[in-house]
Chain A
């Protein structure tokens, strides 16, 4: 019932009495990099017209010379604790991540992933504990990095050096003074007890560089624990061990400090993320979130052929997919040619080259389960049993029915007496008649498999484990079903198509000529014992699909 890590940490303290710099929290969001050299171009996604061309730089490495693709994305999260509200009204303690960037976006059910120009902005007012709920969501629009302030020490030192005619001690300090320096008071005021379930949503595009800063604010309800937290990018291909978030294999950030994860976005798909410290404990306690990577194909200019665009991707070995030489090739060119163009609206789940993964609206849906006994024990300093863990709350986006069909963010009054945004993501699926909805479904249950069935709207599974369902020869392996089953650590992509007949057969992005009837349909679990909220024999893993 105990964990070795809890003892290993103090050993380090004993062995190495250390000089820790005063500035332990910090954020990173460069406005330009080797890969994205022009700062002005890095705040939005350029169109994809072809692979990046390279030239060799002085350092012996390749730098882009034209066709720079993708942009820079940044996000900050807290690792700590918080409370959420279960479907029967129970206030439940969590170990949890919370947003420390994109606060307004997260509260609106959007990703907290921001461009540098948004991330690198200073909050104009003074944060109140519990923000953004304390200030009020209606007037709260700030999406920058919480804590970010000009580095006054560096500004003063540079000014003094300039006056004295010596080299500035902080070279490269931008005129704004924003070099990632943060005010710890803001970090703690906002970060403490701001846990979310699911953890903050992340969304990036292929070719993006992603800087994710995890700031460990500590678990204030568990002062006996000095736990680290990490981020595991679950399912990332060719992952870096260093940035994989497994504390055993890498490093884990201590309380009161920040660690920035760095990745070039991998192939498009529905991934997810979670803490990897003592996974049976930290995952059960709520440190699980959603993450998806949008495909290059979205950025093909409207009206250009998708098939040709996918062929263009084949000319760069990084973006190519050659089944004959790469057994993990994920998006082979479709077996048959076609003349379908990039649609004027909507997006694609994968680089399909034939619009087979086209959708009008997308919804991340994360399946999870809470064992209230474990959460109680987790709050009350008692040893935890793992073998008999038994989930009693079954969650879609951190909510049980009927909370799943409550619009907007849910708040929970926490132990600090403040109301915090605890469950920002509604699970309502809104689809206009004739539209296609992409459900990005992930399961992070830590104890059992879960099934989700559709009543009324047929499901088409187009992707599995963040990979397009296609054989090596390019044949489409998508399948129609009425239910999907996932174990913890799996994801899949489902299209709900409310169109019965399309104007162009074989082009899912063409206009719908006959739509299905409007109305409210249901997604629910046929694991009938999961349609409950602890003692209440009604609720659980269920939500509505509203076609209207």
Chain B
């Protein structure tokens, strides 16, 4: 009993520190779908390596892993999206570099085997694509392989279908994929449907949009972080924002054993007696559950954060109300994970780059095309070897109270904004308004029975004394969206501007309940936070510690909060 108590104290202290630190770092670090490009024109060329390195986990462990990376001499032609700052591609990363190509391009991937000699050959499979040629390399079971000691192999295929795809080792997959040899290929559509580029007002350097989101982004000085205006050659696959999530798990016992055997074999001669590994991969007891190679809270740190030289990609989705958000999801490990998206359903567009379509046309605006037939899901199973694309949005439609906490009796001009419903019921007439995409049926409709700061009263619900509840680190400080609403909920008002922005003039009386909010600042962000996580709940742990693992917070941010995915 006494020993248990000691343990508890130590681990609580450690756990208080670690997530707090990480959360502080997480501010203003958002996601996008970063990756490397292989050049424009008919051929995309990539030079990858396979190497060993240690990847970092939030319990302090450095786990010996293998991963694909970029050849230090033949660096990638470019990084995308262009708006992301400070990209790098080291010689080893988990997941491997995301290869961004365009439909119809011939893709040439040269792999150099930089794994320890005792690890033997390695290779890459490109499921869903047909190899047009393979050069160099040595014969393997599933494909041509790169021999140890710097052997190379070149695969060439045509990026035949748009969408999200996986690539991973085809050599002793039970060990090599577990060790981290996997990555993603994003194929952008060759011809984007015209309706997805109808609105050409965009931020500087941005791509056209289907709707007025580019107008809004330009107004709020956001950058465009999309790779393309549409996911497929289909008029209902336009999107405003995109994120890529790769799910995998690790059994640290396998990694430790591999490390020991590689070290023992040393600089042996490949193929010589004893220059091989014998790492049992069963029974399998994973205790790290990762999204994009990181466990929560590390996954919410920036892309290309310096502290993760071998895990450059994050999982930190943000969006504004009404934005169509493309999520690209790949199952990369051994197990299925039920990925639950809080906040709304996801329309599944396609699997492994295959759109799921109806035999019957739907007229999207003026464009007729086969209707989408993928399911609507709130829990999207990630399956090893399977990629899917889906579209998500959040608007707050039907809450039956004004999520912005408008109050026509306020002195604050932001509390008295108009809501003019379009035929679908949303306020889209003024893309530059902070309540762009507000659901107008609930405009000005009160939530609280009694006045709640400067938010109108007369509603159905009564909040308990705030001292009776515990605030979460992502609690915005009020039930309402945006720093202006949260400021008014605490009886403050603004005579001009928006709280948290330069040049604004706001008063706050500060009756906000004692807030533990450190990751969603009530005075500058005040977003609506939703948890996106594996619903095999034991997987939202890191090596038996909760919280951790396959978990991230998705933030719906009010328009005046600049979603900055630069890093």
A residues sitting closer than 8 Å to B (CB atoms) are 1-9, 11-12, 15-16, 18-21, 24, 26, 28, 30, 33-35, 54, 59-62, 180, 209, 211, 228, 232, 234-235, 237-244, 246-254, 257-260, 262-264, 266, 276, 278-281, 283-284, 317-318, 320, 322-328, 330, 335, 381-383, 385-389, 445-449, 464-467, 469, 471-475, 477, 487-490
Contact = CB atoms under 8 A, between A and B. Distances in A.
Nearest to B359: A475
Given A324-B363, A473-B358, A487-B336, A257 B424 contact: no
A177 B471 CA distance: 32
Contacts of B345: 235, 237, 328, 330, 465, 467
B467 A19 contact: yes
B76 to A, nearest CB: 33
Contact of A465 (B375, B423, B539, B541): B375
Given A20-B468, A54-B441, 9 more contacts: A6-B12, A7-B15, A21-B465, A238-B395, A239-B342, A257-B465, A323-B371, A447-B538, A473-B359
A180 B462 CA distance: 10
B393 A327 contact: yes
A263 B479 CA distance: 13
Interface size class of B (residues with CB under 8 A): 35 or more
B443 A2 contact: no
Given A6-B12, A34-B458, A327-B236, A249 B529 contact: yes
Interface stretch (B27-35, B102-110, B149-157, B543-551): B543-551
Nearest to B364: A324
Given A246-B342, A318-B441, A251 B375 contact: no
B444 interface: yes
A321 to B, nearest CB: 11
Contacts of A247: 470, 472
Contact of B464 (A34, A257, A490): A257
A327 B424 CA distance: 12
Interface stretch (B120-128, B165-173, B176-184, B396-404): B396-404
Contact of B538 (A60, A211, A387): A387
Interface stretch (B41-49, B90-98, B377-385): B377-385
B469 A259 contact: yes
Interface in B406-447: 406, 408-409, 421, 423-425, 441-447
Nearest to B448: A262
Interface in B320-353: 324, 336-338, 340, 342-345, 347
Contacts of B544: 1, 385-387
Contact of B530 (A246, A386, A446, A474): A246
Contact of A15 (B287, B361, B379, B514): B514
Contacts of A11: 516
25 contacts: A12-B471, A59-B446, A60-B406, A61-B402, A228-B469, A238-B394, A241-B343, A241-B529, A248-B553, A251-B466, A251-B470, A251-B472, A254-B468, A279-B533, A317-B421, A323-B372, A327-B347, A328-B344, A381-B1, A386-B546, A387-B287, A466-B378, A475-B360, A489-B338, A490-B381
B329 to A, nearest CB: 14
Nearest to B426: A317
A253 B468 contact: yes
A240 B528 contact: yes
A487 B398 contact: no
A251 B471 contact: yes
B408 A60 contact: yes
B441 A62 contact: yes
A278 B470 CA distance: 14
A5 B471 CA distance: 10
A16 B469 CA distance: 12
Contacts of B4: 381-383
A382 B5 CA distance: 9
A477 B553 CA distance: 33
Contacts of B361: 473
A466 B494 CA distance: 42
A2 B338 CA distance: 24
Contacts of A228: 469-470
A287 to B, nearest CB: 11
A21 B464 CA distance: 10
Contacts of A5: 470
A465 B376 contact: yes
A167 to B, nearest CB: 16
Interface in B451-471: 456, 458-462, 464-471
A338 to B, nearest CB: 16
B16 A7 contact: yes
A16 B460 contact: no
A65 B523 CA distance: 38
Contacts of A59: 408-409, 444, 446, 456, 458
Contacts of A9: 470
Nearest to A261: B461
A237 B343 CA distance: 6
A2 B11 contact: yes
Contact of A4 (B7, B16, B358, B531): B16
- Considering the complex of A and B, which 9 residue pairs feature the smallest CB-CB distances, nearest first? A489-B535, A317-B425, A487-B338, A472-B371, A473-B360, A241-B528, A249-B529, A264-B400, A471-B373
Contact of B472 (A238, A252, A327, A471): A252
B493 interface: no
Contacts of B537: 279-280, 283-284, 446, 488
A244 B342 contact: yes
A1 B396 CA distance: 36
Contacts of B408: 59-60
Contact of B423 (A8, A21, A251, A317): A317
A251 B478 CA distance: 9
Nearest to A259: B464
B476 interface: yes
B309 interface: no
A440 to B, nearest CB: 15
B469 A252 contact: yes
B256 interface: no
A249 B466 CA distance: 15
Contacts of A330: 345, 376
A387 B16 contact: no
B473 interface: yes
A4 B476 contact: no
A283 B343 CA distance: 20
A74 to B, nearest CB: 11
A281 B546 contact: yes
B536 interface: yes
B262 interface: no
Contacts of B85: none
Given A240-B479, A251-B470, A383-B7, A24 B236 contact: no
Given A62-B441, A465-B375, A249 B362 contact: no
B198 to A, nearest CB: 14
B553 A249 contact: yes
- Give the most central of A24, A248, A257: most B CB within 10 Å: A248
Nearest to B251: A387
B400 to A, nearest CB: 4
Nearest to B393: A328
A33 B460 contact: yes
A242 B539 CA distance: 25
Contacts of A234: 340, 378
A320 B530 CA distance: 26
A253 B469 CA distance: 4
Contacts of B460: 30, 33-35, 209, 211, 262
Contacts of A447: 536, 538
A175 B520 CA distance: 44
Contact of A248 (B7, B425, B444, B529): B529
B524 to A, nearest CB: 17
B365 interface: yes
A386 B378 contact: no
Contacts of A465: 345, 375-379
A293 to B, nearest CB: 12
B546 A487 contact: no
